[in-house]
């Protein structure tokens, strides 16, 4: 565990003199090249940083630029990414396709500020770029083609229900895409009949779910009904797909019925595009196809290493397309892994996963041990894209820098930052970030991430705020967190523990949450709190607990079982496992972590014992509750129950809802409001307590 750090106290005046003198000497030294940061990009001017550096505020959430969906051109010379910036006036995110030169970092905007643009895909020749966007005066996403030699984007599809995922054919003549079937049209008096049969869907479902299927269309758009040809049909629904290198075979992710809860039954179907023949792979569900090998003979896929999906780490398996038993080539990596691209020679894959508090890559040969790549403090934030010449591009984050685009060469594995989209935030006065470890309960060595207040001083004691991740298979890593830095800028220590169930340190730790949803994780978190207190830097009269989703669950659990909290914020909190199992979009999946259905045998009491509502009468901590009314993942009913329980027991409580859908507000105005309420609620209660001794 990290001990106290020694820091020399330097006055701002002396510091400025040192910076100016150093800059002068550097400028006068002959033959000196510009400084380079660890990522290989030009270092920031220290005088400029000193002049503009200030702590973050809640309003600074609007400064963060989202960076996603990197796509490397076929010649590996340029990469396109999607950037997003909040537009508070229109309450939406404006997205742009940005072209970045791999060698120089030079940028060019391809589609300036279009709210719905996304999903870029290069044509096989590299002469065109396809993407999805909302059609003019429409609401549905369609496929567009942009010629890279100049000219306007051209709309290809005109689907009534819009386009989901899409890919180019191998020869560039067609697109394969998914779209959802239109609902059944009833005639006569029956047109008023809106009844439908309920399945494994959320309680907010308002109409019969319809299946998603695979279609094909010429890149020219075709004739009549836009020339689209249907390739699959039936009540089964296509959840995603990958195409073989020669374009002749498609691996489909199929769920038995178009209900959200059916995700746990996803299987892989092989479709031959020439003959139309289909064959289901005999694999235990749920499975997700990854990528075909360069010769098309083998398909990679991900699957949990255990009978309880997602409660066990996912491994990467290889399946011969023509038949045979799958092989877990990652059996020796006891981590939760995601699939990545094959190397051009077909002898290895590049994989992604979390290792303790780092998001990392692994180079996994088909034969021999994997190599975990040292990226020098850069945390992976997207799937990697691998070019035919070994160029690798990905989105990454650092401790004190939000998302940027990085490039490196295979076998060298030295990342170089290509962009500076988030210089505004990286130039702020930020808190130091470090991992702490401790001996937790039940024999686990545990870890968490601690963000210090900017200008942290040894010998002072600071308020402590727990920012608990969701999941429970989520992770807390050292990568930049805008909101945690905003809270640290309030003068608070911000602690994010990885409790059991986190996908950070292997199978035993991740599956330890099965049938121990609250008690074990609660003891983990509290042992972490004690480890932070042992540093001698915590004002123990001002300790807050907060989190979203499963982090909200942990907040409710901890305030019901432990004392010492000055204030709490429970966002989208799971408080009643019965509601989750019966009403949420993932619904029956919860049974894998709670001994099966609550309606079998005497398992109902097991569900109740692991629900915070069973203990809500013990909560005495002032609590802010926040939810979306249209949240299908954690139903708002659970927040209503917690609110009434606290109100009835005389506990100070405030309940705020956003009348929007989704598990977290998707628009910038509500996101900012949520963060502001979160910070202000904690701040006012810390102020009421006053400083400790």
| Domain chopping of the chain, boundaries | 12-52, 430-689
pLDDT at 282: 83
Q: How confident is the model at residue 39 (pLDDT cuts 50, 70, 90)?
A: very low
**Which residues touch 366 (CB under 8 Å, ≥6 apart)?**
318, 329, 346, 347, 348
Predicted confidence (pLDDT) at residue 386 exceeds the cutoff of 90: yes
Q: Are 421 and 67 in contact (CB under 8 A)?
A: yes
pLDDT at 35: 30
Q: Are 520 and 502 in contact (CB under 8 A)?
A: no
pLDDT in tens, 629-656: 999 999 999 999 999 999 999 999 999 9
3-state SS class at 395: strand
pLDDT at 226: 58
Q: HSE of 634 in the Cβ direction (CA atoms, 13 Å)?
A: 25
What would the mean pLDDT of 83-89 be, rounded to a whole number?
Answer: 96
pLDDT at 348: 97
| Alpha-carbon radius of gyration of the chain | 26
pLDDT at 137: 79
Predicted confidence (pLDDT) at residue 37 exceeds the cutoff of 80: no
pLDDT at 4: 37
pLDDT at 225: 53
**Which residues touch 139 (CB under 8 Å, ≥6 apart)?**
162
Q: How confident is the model at residue 138 (pLDDT cuts 50, 70, 90)?
A: confident
Q: Which of 625, 520, 639 is nearest to 583 (CA)?
A: 639
pLDDT at 593: 96
pLDDT in tens, 493-508: 999 999 999 999 999 9
Q: Which of 449, 473, 240, 448 is nearest to 336 (CA)?
A: 473
pLDDT at 434: 97
186, with CB counted inside 10 A (0-12, 13-18, 19+), is exposed
What pTM was computed for the model? 0.90
Most confident among 144-158, 274-288, 670-684 (mean pLDDT): 670-684
- Per-residue b/e over 128-155, b at no fewer than 16 CB within 10 Å? bbbbbbbbeeeebbbbbbbebeeeebee
pLDDT in tens, 451-464: 999 999 999 999 99
Q: What is the CB neighbour count within 10 angstroms for residue 109?
A: 11
Q: What is the CB neighbour count within 10 angstroms for residue 157?
A: 24
Predicted confidence (pLDDT) at residue 364 exceeds the cutoff of 80: yes
pLDDT at 692: 57
Predicted confidence (pLDDT) at residue 666 exceeds the cutoff of 50: yes
What would the mean pLDDT of 571-585 be, rounded to a whole number?
Answer: 96
What sign results for the dihedral spanned by CA atoms 402, 406, 412, 413?
positive
Q: Which of 102, 127, 126, 130 is nearest to 118 (CA)?
A: 130
How much of the chain, in percent, has pLDDT values that exceed 70? 91
pLDDT in tens, 532-559: 999 999 999 999 999 999 999 999 999 9
pLDDT at 113: 77
Q: Are 585 and 261 in contact (CB under 8 A)?
A: yes
- DSSP conformation letters of 565-616: -SEEEEES----HHHHHHHSSSGGGGGGGTTS-TTSTTHHHHHHHTSGGGGG
Q: How confident is the model at residue 322 (pLDDT cuts 50, 70, 90)?
A: confident
pLDDT at 441: 94
pLDDT in tens, 391-418: 999 999 999 999 999 999 999 999 999 9
Q: How confident is the model at residue 223 (pLDDT cuts 50, 70, 90)?
A: low
Provide the edge-to-edge strand list for the sheet that holds 141-147.
Answer: 118-122, 128-134, 141-147, 154-155
pLDDT at 222: 66
Q: Which of 424, 437, 429 is nearest to 491 (CA)?
A: 429
Predicted confidence (pLDDT) at residue 426 exceeds the cutoff of 60: yes
Cα separation, 160 vs 154, whole angstroms: 18
- Specify the CATH number for 430-689; select among 3.30.450.30, 3.20.130.10, 3.40.50.2300, 3.40.50.1820: 3.40.50.1820
What token pair was written down for 273?
């595009």
Omega before residue 534 within 30° of 0, cis: no
Predicted confidence (pLDDT) at residue 683 exceeds the cutoff of 90: yes
3-state SS class at 282: coil
What is the chain's mean pLDDT, rounded?
Answer: 90
pLDDT at 323: 82
Q: How confident is the model at residue 52 (pLDDT cuts 50, 70, 90)?
A: low
The residue that leads in pLDDT, 149 or 626, is 626
Cα separation, 394 vs 382, whole angstroms: 6
Q: Are 312 and 303 in contact (CB under 8 A)?
A: no
Cα separation, 182 vs 210, whole angstroms: 7
pLDDT at 300: 96
What token pair was written down for 359?
């998001």
pLDDT at 12: 35
Strand partners, 391: 409
What sign results for the dihedral spanned by CA atoms 584, 588, 590, 596?
positive
């Amino acid at each position: 565990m990290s001990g106290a750090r020694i820091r020399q106290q330097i006055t701002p005046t002396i510091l400025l003199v040192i910076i100016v003198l150093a800059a002068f000497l550097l400028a006068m030294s002959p033959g000196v090249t510009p400084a380079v940061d660890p990522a290989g990009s030009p270092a920031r001017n220290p005088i400029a940083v000193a002049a503009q550096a200030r702590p973050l505020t809640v309003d600074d959430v609007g400064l963060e630029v989202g960076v996603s969906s990197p796509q490397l051109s076929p010649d590996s010379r340029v990469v396109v990414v999607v950037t997003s910036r909040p537009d508070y006036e229109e309450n939406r995110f404006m997205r742009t396709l940005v072209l970045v030169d791999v060698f120089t970092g030079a940028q060019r905007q391809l589609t300036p500020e279009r709210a719905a643009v996304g999903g870029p895909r290069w044509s096989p020749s590299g002469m065109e770029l396809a993407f999805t966007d909302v059609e003019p005066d429409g609401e549905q996403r369609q496929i567009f083609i942009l010629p890279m030699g100049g000219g306007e984007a051209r709309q290809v599809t005109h689907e009534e229900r819009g386009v989901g995922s899409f890919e180019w054919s191998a020869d560039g003549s067609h697109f394969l895409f998914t779209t959802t079937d239109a609902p059944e049209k009833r005639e006569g008096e029956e047109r008023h009949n809106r009844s439908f049969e309920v399945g494994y869907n959320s309680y907010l479902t308002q109409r019969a779910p319809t299946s998603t299927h695979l279609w094909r269309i010429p890149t020219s758009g075709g004739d009549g009904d836009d020339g689209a040809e249907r390739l699959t049909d039936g009540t089964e629904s296509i959840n995603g797909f990958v195409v073989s290198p020669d374009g002749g075979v498609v691996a489909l992710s199929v769920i038995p019925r178009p209900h959200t809860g059916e995700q746990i039954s996803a299987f892989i179907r092989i479709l031959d595009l020439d003959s139309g023949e289909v064959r289901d792979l005999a694999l235990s569900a749920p499975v997700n196809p990854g990528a075909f090998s360069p010769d098309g003979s083998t398909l990679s896929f991900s699957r949990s290493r255990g009978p309880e999906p997602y409660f066990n780490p996912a491994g990467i398996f290889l399946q011969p397309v023509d038949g045979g038993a799958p092989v877990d080539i990652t059996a020796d990596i006891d981590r939760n892994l995601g699939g990545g691209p094959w190397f051009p020679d077909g002898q290895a894959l590049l994989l992604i996963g979390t290792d303790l508090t780092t998001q990392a890559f692994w180079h996994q040969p088909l034969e021999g041990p994997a190599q975990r790549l040292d990226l020098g403090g850069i945390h992976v934030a997207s799937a990697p894209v691998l070019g035919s010449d070994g160029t690798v591009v990905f989105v990454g984050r650092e401790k004190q820098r939000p998302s940027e685009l990085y490039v490196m060469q295979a076998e060298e594995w030295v990342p170089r930052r290509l962009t500076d989209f988030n210089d505004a935030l990286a130039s702020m006065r930020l808190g130091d970030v470090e991992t702490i470890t401790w001996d937790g309960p039940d024999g686990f060595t545990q870890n968490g991430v601690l963000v210090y207040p900017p200008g942290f001083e040894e010998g002072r004691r600071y308020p402590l705020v727990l920012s608990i991740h969701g999941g429970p298979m989520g992770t807390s890593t050292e990568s930049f967190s805008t909101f945690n830095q905003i809270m640290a800028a309030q003068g608070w220590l911000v602690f994010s523990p990885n409790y059991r169930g986190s996908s950070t340190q292997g199978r035993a730790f991740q599956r330890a949450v099965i049938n121990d949803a609250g008690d074990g994780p609660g003891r983990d978190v509290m042992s972490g709190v004690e480890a932070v207190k042992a540093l001698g830097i915590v004002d123990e009269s001002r300790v807050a607990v907060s989190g979203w989703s499963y982090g909200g669950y942990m907040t409710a659990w901890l305030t019901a079982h432990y004392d010492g909290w000055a204030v709490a914020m429970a966002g989208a909190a799971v408080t009643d496992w019965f509601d989750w199992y019966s009403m949420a979009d993932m619904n029956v999946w919860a049974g894998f972590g709670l001994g099966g259905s609550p309606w079998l045998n005497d398992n109902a009491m097991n569900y109740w014992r692991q629900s915070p509502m069973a203990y809500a009468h013990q909560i005495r901590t002032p609590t802010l509750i926040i939810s979306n009314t249209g949240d299908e993942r954690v139903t708002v009913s659970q927040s209503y129950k917690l609110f009434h329980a606290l109100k009835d027991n005389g506990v100070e409580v405030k309940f705020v809802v956003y009348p929007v859908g989704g598990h977290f507000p998707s628009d910038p105005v509500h996101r900012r409001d949520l963060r502001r309420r979160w910070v202000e609620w904690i701040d006012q209660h810390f102020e009421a307590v006053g400083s400790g001794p």
